[in-house]
């Protein structure tokens, strides 16, 4: 059974930093691209980052480019998201998601339960 | 980096069929068959119900079906049931530096 478990969320002040982790199990982690998707309160899903299976390729939405960094440790079956210079509009539930493909995102097939990040003073 | 366009809401009576559209461009929906659909209940993670335009993953109800014509993909829910009341999102691969895009989301109401 595929499982994705996010951790590391919480309350952070504007301008602060946070690191999210996503522990994966139930599949060969390195064989699939992984993405981060977020959902602001009452809003829709927003894709913002994907990393290829081996970690050699990353993509970011303009809304987070230069502030967020996606990475993975295939030896630990874990996906990471380093978030810096956080702003109030980064407040959202953050989902990690397993893609169906290795490199280009064909679309997620499994999702974590989500973790709330609140940026507020 | 605009989202795919979906109707904000669709409603139907139990037993009826409804269709949700997802309109993009030739750079995403129209150019690739990497269109997926997700069902999301409040406070829960999205669940994949259709992938690659018209394929159902194991465990997804056969009342869900997908199709595509030009730059518009569609999700049809047949034999509408109370449990189908949820939010639905499409997604597509996009040939750009931002390779995955979601739709604006559709709230389905069962009357």
Provide the shortest C-alpha distance from residue A7 to chain B (in Å): 15
How distant is the alpha carbon of residue A43 from its chain centre? 17
In tens, the pLDDT along A51-103 reads 999 999 999 999 999 999 999 999 999 999 999 999 999 999 999 999 998 77
Q: Is the dihedral of CA A74, A77, A82, A88 positive or negative?
A: positive
- pLDDT tens digit sequence for B19-62: 999 999 999 999 999 999 999 999 999 999 999 999 999 999 99
pLDDT digits (tens, 9 = 90+) for A1-48: 999 999 999 999 999 999 999 999 999 999 999 999 999 999 999 999
Please, which residues 68-87 of chain A have a Cβ atom closer than 8 Å to chain B? none
Of B44, B48, B99, the CB nearest to A109: B48
Q: Name which of B45, B98, B103 is nearest A61 (Cβ-Cβ).
A: B98
pLDDT tens-digit readout, B7-25: 999 999 999 999 999 999 9
Measured between alpha carbons, how far apart are the two ends of chain B, in Å?
35
The Cα B29–Cα B22 span in angstroms is 8
Q: Identify the CA nearest to A105 among candidates B51, B100, B48.
A: B100
For residue A45, which residues of chain B lie inside 8 Å, CB to CB?
A: 38, 40, 46, 89, 91, 102, 105
Q: With an 8 Å Cβ cutoff, is A1 touching chain B?
A: no
Half-sphere exposure of B82 (CA within 13 A, CB side): 0
């Amino acid at each position: 059974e595929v499982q994705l478990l996010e951790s590391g969320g919480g309350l952070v002040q504007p301008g602060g930093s946070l690191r999210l982790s996503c522990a994966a199990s139930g599949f060969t982690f390195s064989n699939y691209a992984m993405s981060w998707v977020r959902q602001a309160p009452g809003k829709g899903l927003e894709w913002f980052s994907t990393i290829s299976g081996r970690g050699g390729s990353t993509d970011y939405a303009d809304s987070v480019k230069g502030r967020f960094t996606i990475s993975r440790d295939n030896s630990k079956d874990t996906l990471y998201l380093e978030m810096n210079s956080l702003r109030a509009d980064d407040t959202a539930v953050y989902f990690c998601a397993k893609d169906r493909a290795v490199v280009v995102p064909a679309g997620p097939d499994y999702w974590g339960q989500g973790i709330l990040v609140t940026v507020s003073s | 980096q605009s989202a795919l366009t979906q109707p904000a809401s669709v409603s139907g009576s139990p037993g009826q069929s409804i269709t949700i559209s997802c309109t993009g461009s030739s750079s995403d929906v129209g150019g690739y068959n990497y269109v997926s659909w997700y069902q999301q209940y409040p406070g829960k993670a999205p669940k994949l119900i259709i992938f690659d335009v018209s394929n159902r993953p194991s465990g997804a109800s056969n009342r869900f079906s997908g199709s595509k014509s030009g730059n518009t993909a569609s999700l049809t829910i047949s034999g509408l049931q109370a449990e189908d009341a949820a939010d639905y999102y499409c997604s597509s691969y996009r040939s750009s530096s931002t390779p995955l895009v979601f739709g604006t989301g559709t709230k389905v109401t069962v009357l």
